[in-house]
Amino acid sequence: MGRAKGAIVVDIEKCKGCNICVVNCPTDVIELSKEVNGKGYPYAYMENPENCTGCANCALVCPDGVIEVYRVIV
């Protein structure tokens, strides 16, 4: 059985920077940006993309539904 590799895509303009995905990521992939979006919020991004397993925990808890999750088995 292979290893899961994942990635997320964040709808930056709809992200409100609440940080809930960050604390719920089991592999410390996500951080909040230093810059802000058009609404003035920092937004979630993959700071450590190599750690992402595509578990989708971030998307499950994202109140604004702005995270898409992709996953492949390598």
Partner 1 sequence: MDIKDIIKPENKVYSKTSLMTDNALSYCPGCGHGTAHRIVMEVIEEMGIAHDTIGVAPVGCSVLAYDFMDIDMTQAAHGRAPAVATGIKRLWPDKFVFTYQGDGDLAAIGTAETIHACNRGENIVIIFVNNGIYGMTGGQMAPTTLGGMKSSTSPFGRDIGTMGNPIKMTELVANLPGVYFASRQAVHKPSNVRKAKKAIRQAFENQKEKKGLSIVEIVSNCNSGWKMAPVQSNIWMEENMFPYYPLGDIKVDDVILGK
Q: What is the C-alpha to C-alpha distance for residues 46 and 54, in angstroms, rounded to an integer?
A: 12
Cβ(15)–Cβ(64) below 8 Å: yes
CB 65 within 8 A of CB 1: no
74 lies in the site for partner 1, by CB under 8 A: yes
The footprint of partner 1 on residues 8-67 (CB under 8 A) is 9, 14, 16-20, 22-24, 41, 46, 49, 54, 56-57, 59-67
Residues within the interface to partner 1 (CB under 8 A): 5-7, 9, 14, 16-20, 22-24, 41, 46, 49, 54, 56-57, 59-72, 74
